[in-house]
């Protein structure tokens, strides 16, 4: 496909996405004021202001010097620019449409990555490729997070940038690292910084790791390598300047992404101020509870004394642990096993891609590490783990396609089946449950809570 038809196809898809998002916004339904926050943010940004209308963001805002700020990155607001051509756009809720566009882009990107692997490596076992395709459509990040809201919109767009970064990194493993892959990595890392900073930091670190590894590898022709990497580095630097400008406009500091001393919710949860002052927003001592929350959610069960397990630990370290209880071991076992095979393969055999793969994985591990030690553990934060899991899983597929260790068809089918069923169950629980601190919702037990939520009691 030549450049002109490709651009026309992209433009056509963009037009369909815009019209579809507008059509969804016109569906009559009750609109929560919070869902109009990005409309307000765009309106104010176009007038050179960084605040938002207090009536939209409400408790989720930050009151500073008489103005109310939102801490979410401005990119979801800027993506609403095409909607300004429609009448009454200020009061239309584009959240659901925006979430669907991000989700569709995420699925398409991951399937494209899998297709690239299968095309480049015809020796990849067919059952493994088919199972991976099923998981990339019906499980994990694609089905667990369909409770569309402003919170979810931010995370889904960040997940799309992560998926595109992974696609570029896998392309580099298969066809070599060129300027095109570097430009994609730099672009989506910059977009992520303007969407969700935790993932943005990880993508920037992974990009920096790739640059460092390649500089060492090509030290004999360092000048040529620097020339090839110059434009991508400049592009990411420009995104960095924009991000710093937004932070200055909001908080007066280029390195501050949110100042929780001014968080409106503090008035309802004063214990959070004490916890933040004593322990900070991120603390490594939260990692044990984080591992429980994300991998073995026993915290929703009650002990013999009638108290939630680990409640003393949670109340000391964690503002909120959100429902539903879930484990990556159940929703994503195929990704985890393939990722483990990739790590074992890199440990056993040196290859031209190993150092770059390790650098990318270490960068992508940063968002997951941040979520493990964050003061709040919300269900949607699981999306920050998927770029790491999927990069490692795709790398495991590449090694399998090159004759490395793999999984048999029966185990592959079993892991994919568990992943799909667990993801659908967890996704349904997320849809019917309530947001907020889970410990405040399950006073009668986790079973009773979900029986009532599903209308079975």
pLDDT recorded at residue 305: 85
pTM over 0.85? The answer is yes
In this structure, what DSSP letter does residue 221 have?
G
Contact at 8 Å (CB) between 193 and 73?
yes
pLDDT recorded at residue 306: 82
In this structure, what DSSP letter does residue 302 have?
B
Q: Which DSSP string corresponds to 357-389?
A: HHHHHHHHHHHHHHHHTBSEE-GGGGGGGHHHH
* Average pLDDT over the chain, rounded to an integer: 93
pLDDT tens per residue across span 152-164: 999 999 999 999 9
Contact at 8 Å (CB) between 127 and 108?
no
What distance in Å separates the CA atoms of residue 25 and residue 169, rounded to the nearest whole number? 35
What distance in Å separates the CA atoms of residue 393 and residue 388, rounded to the nearest whole number? 9
pLDDT tens per residue across span 61-75: 999 989 999 999 999
Is residue 348 pLDDT above 80, yes or no?
yes
What residue ranges do the domains of the chain occupy?
A: 19-93, 95-457
Mean pLDDT of 41-50: 96
Mean pLDDT of 82-89: 93
Is residue 3 pLDDT above 80, yes or no?
no
pLDDT band for position 1 (cuts 50, 70, 90): low
What distance in Å separates the CA atoms of residue 147 and residue 218, rounded to the nearest whole number? 47
Ranges of H-type helices in 37-123: 37-45, 54-57, 75-78, 95-120
pLDDT band for position 443 (cuts 50, 70, 90): confident
Q: What are the two backbone dihedrals, phi and then psi, of residue 272, each rounded to the nearest 5 degrees?
A: -70, -35
Element (H, E) at 320: strand 320-321
Residues 6+ apart with CB under 8 A from 389: 140, 328, 332, 335, 336, 339
Mean pLDDT of 399-410: 92
pLDDT band for position 2 (cuts 50, 70, 90): low
What distance in Å separates the CA atoms of residue 243 and residue 240, rounded to the nearest whole number? 5
pLDDT tens per residue across span 130-154: 999 999 999 999 999 999 999 999 9
The SS3 assignment for 406 reads coil
The SS3 assignment for 157 reads helix
What distance in Å separates the CA atoms of residue 64 and residue 262, rounded to the nearest whole number? 6
437: left (phi over 0), alpha (psi -120 to 50) or beta: beta
Distance, C-alpha 230 to centroid of its chain? 28
pLDDT band for position 242 (cuts 50, 70, 90): very high
pLDDT recorded at residue 222: 73
């Amino acid at each position: 496909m030549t450049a002109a038809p490709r651009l026309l196809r992209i433009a056509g898809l963009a037009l369909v996405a815009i019209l579809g998002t507008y059509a969804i916004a016109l569906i009559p339904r009750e609109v929560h004021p919070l869902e109009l926050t990005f409309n307000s943010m765009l309106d104010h940004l176009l007038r050179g202001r960084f605040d938002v209308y207090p009536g939209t963001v409400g408790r989720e805002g930050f009151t500073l010097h008489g103005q109310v700020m939102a801490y979410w990155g401005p990119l979801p607001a800027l993506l609403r620019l095409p909607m300004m051509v429609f009448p009454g756009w200020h009061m239309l809720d584009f959240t659901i449409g925006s979430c669907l566009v991000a989700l569709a882009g995420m699925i398409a990107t991951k399937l494209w990555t899998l297709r690239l692997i299968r095309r480049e490596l015809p020796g990849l076992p067919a059952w493994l490729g088919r199972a991976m395709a099923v998981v990339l459509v019906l499980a994990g990040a694609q089905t667990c997070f369909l409770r569309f809201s402003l919170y979810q919109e931010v995370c889904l767009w960040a997940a799309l940038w992560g998926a595109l970064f992974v696609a570029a990194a896998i392309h580099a493993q298969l066809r070599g690292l060129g300027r095109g892959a570097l430009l994609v990595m730099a672009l989506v890392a910059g977009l992520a910084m303007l969407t969700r900073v935790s993932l943005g930091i990880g993508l920037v670190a992974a990009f920096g790791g790739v640059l460092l590894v390649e500089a060492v590898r090509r030290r004999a022709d360092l000048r040529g390598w620097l020339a090839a990497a110059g434009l991508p580095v400049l592009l990411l630097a420009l995104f960095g300047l924009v991000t710093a400008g937004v932070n200055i406009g909001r908080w007066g500091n280029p390195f501050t992404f949110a100042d929780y001393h001014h968080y409106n919710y503090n008035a309802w949860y004063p214990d959070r101020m004490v916890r933040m002052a004593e322990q900070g927003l991120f603390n490594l001592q939260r990692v044990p509870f984080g591992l429980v929350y994300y991998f073995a959610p026993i915290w929703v069960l009650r002990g013999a004394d009638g108290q939630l397990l680990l409640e003393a630990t949670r109340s000391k370290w964690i503002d909120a642990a959100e429902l539903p209880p879930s484990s990556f071991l159940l929703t994503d076992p195929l990704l985890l096993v393939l990722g483990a095979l990739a790590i074992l393969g890199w440990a056993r055999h040196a290859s031209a891609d190993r150092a770059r793969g390790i650098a990318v994985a270490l960068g992508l591990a940063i968002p997951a590490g941040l979520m493990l030690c964050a003061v709040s553990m919300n269900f949607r934060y699981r999306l920050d783990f998927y770029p790491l899991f999927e990069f490692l899983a795709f790398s495991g597929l590449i090694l399998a396609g090159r004759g490395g260790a793999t999984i048999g068809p029966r185990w592959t089918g079993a892991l994919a089946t568990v992943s799909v069923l667990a993801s659908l169950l967890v996704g349904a629980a997320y849809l019917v449950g309530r947001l907020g601190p889970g410990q405040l919702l399950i006073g009668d037990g986790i079973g009773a809570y979900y029986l009532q939520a599903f209308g079975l009691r």
